[in-house]
Each structure stands twice: as C-alpha cells, then as structure tokens.
C-alpha cells in the first residue's frame, strides 16, 4: 500500500491499494475514492466495539477493498493539524485517544492503560490510550503541527499536558509536579508535566484540541 499525505492545514491521506488489498478506516473518514473500492462496515464483536469506544473512536469501522484492479481512497483530517503515517512492524506505537484515522488490516489496535494512575489522571493524555502493533502502517491524526524527537536510553523530556501525541512502546512515561507554589498558581502551565524517557521516538503536537477549545471558550459570551 502506498500512502501519500497532502495539503495543509487540513491534510488528506491518499492511499493507493493493489487489487484485493484492504484498508480499515475510522467511521466517516472517507473523502473520495475510486468506484472499484468495496466497503464493508464491521464491529468485530462487543469486546472490540467497547474497546474502541473507550479509545474515543467509533464503535464501527469501515473496511475498503480494491476489487478487480488497483484502487485509491482519500481520508481527510477532522481537525487542523498533521497526518502521521507510522510503520508498526519494528516497534508498537502508543497514541492518544481519537488519533486513529486508518490502517492496514495487519495492524492490531488495542487498549493501552497507564500503569500508574497518576499518569492517567494528571498527564493530560488520559488514562486510556491506543496501542498499535503487528505489521503494516497506521495513519494517525495529530492536533496542530507534529514534532518528532529520538530519545536515547535514559534521555528525558518534559512535555506540557496534552502535547504528547504518540510514542514508541519502548518509551516510559511518568508525571512530575511543577515545583514551587507560585509557579503552580501563577505560571499558567498547570500543576503537572508529563516526563517521557527513552529509548525511542516521541511525537509532540503543538495545539491539543482541548487547549484550542479552552482558548475559543474565552471568546464566547457567558463561557469565560
């Protein structure tokens, strides 16, 4: 499968499928496609449907298959930002809720629970995340622009809550309290930061949708 990402600030992932090849997409993700793509909507059983609901995704997904000849399908982003394509064959990827846009059928999508409750309650990314493993490529939506960093073993970075979009499965995460009462109350950065430690890649997003919602609320009468 060949995947190309085009356009800003609302990008689109254009996927070219070989005859008989299939792709799984989030419900409603398709923007345009060739007529020879056959769609089938699947739930995958109560357990998988409930798992997707906890991940912030639709309970049903669509599977598109190229029938008889090569086909093409395009999936647009639902929020201004980036679309990221990651091959999970070498390392599982852990991503924020609602990040999934599409994947090859060989990619396994599972719930990922934070081992430490504090990381889930105060980390900004939520207690429940998504884990992608198996083989093939997964397509993820990122809020705002995305920046990738490669952390060496033992190397750490402090991340503002909500800005951690995804990380390789080898990266560990914990929550650190902002030092100093004055800094907590008047610094505008909140009480907690997320600390990620390598080895592995991390992907950071510049404008979490929750931050944008808070910013817009300040301009709505009666909501500030």
Q: Phi/psi zone of residue 21: left (φ > 0), alpha (ψ -120 to 50 degrees), beta?
A: beta
- What is the average pLDDT score of the chain? 83
pLDDT at residue 125, as a whole number: 47
Going edge to edge, which strands form the sheet with 137-143?
A: 37-42, 61-66, 22-26, 100-104, 137-143, 81-87
Which pLDDT score, from 0 to 100, does residue 5 have?
96
Q: What is the pTM of this model?
A: 0.81
Percentage of residues in the chain having pLDDT higher than 90? 56
Which has the higher per-residue pLDDT, 55 or 208? 208
Which homologous superfamily does the CATH classification assign to the domain defined by 2-211?
Mitochondrial biogenesis AIM24 (3.60.160.10)
Question: Which pLDDT band, with edges at 50, 70 and 90, does 200 fall under?
Answer: very high
Quick: pLDDT tens for 96-118. Answer: 888 999 999 999 998 887 655 45
3-state percent breakdown (helix, strand, coil) of the chain, nearest 5: 15, 50, 40
């Amino acid at each position: 499968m060949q995947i190309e990402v085009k356009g800003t600030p609302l990008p689109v992932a254009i996927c070219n499928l070989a005859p008989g090849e299939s792709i799984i997409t989030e419900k409603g993700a398709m923007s345009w496609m060739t007529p020879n793509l056959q769609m089938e909507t699947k739930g995958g059983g109560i357990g998988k449907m409930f798992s997707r609901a906890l991940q912030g995704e639709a309970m049903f997904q669509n599977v598109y298959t190229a029938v008889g000849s090569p086909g093409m399908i395009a999936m647009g982003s639902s929020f201004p930002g980036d679309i990221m394509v990651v091959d999970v064959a070498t390392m599982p990827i852990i991503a924020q809720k609602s990040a999934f846009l599409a994947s090859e059928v060989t990619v396994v999508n599972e719930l990922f629970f934070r081992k430490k409750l504090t990381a889930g309650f105060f980390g900004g990314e939520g207690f429940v995340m998504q884990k992608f493993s198996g083989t093939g490529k997964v397509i993820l939506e990122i809020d705002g622009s995305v920046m990738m960093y490669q952390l060496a073993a033992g190397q750490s970075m402090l991340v503002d809550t909500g800005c951690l979009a995804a990380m390789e499965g080898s990266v560990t995460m914990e929550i650190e309290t902002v030092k100093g009462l004055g800094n907590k109350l008047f610094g505008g950065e909140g009480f907690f930061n997320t600390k990620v430690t390598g080895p592995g890649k991390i992907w950071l997003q510049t404008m979490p949708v929750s931050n944008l919602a808070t910013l817009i609320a300040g301009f709505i009468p009666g909501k500030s």
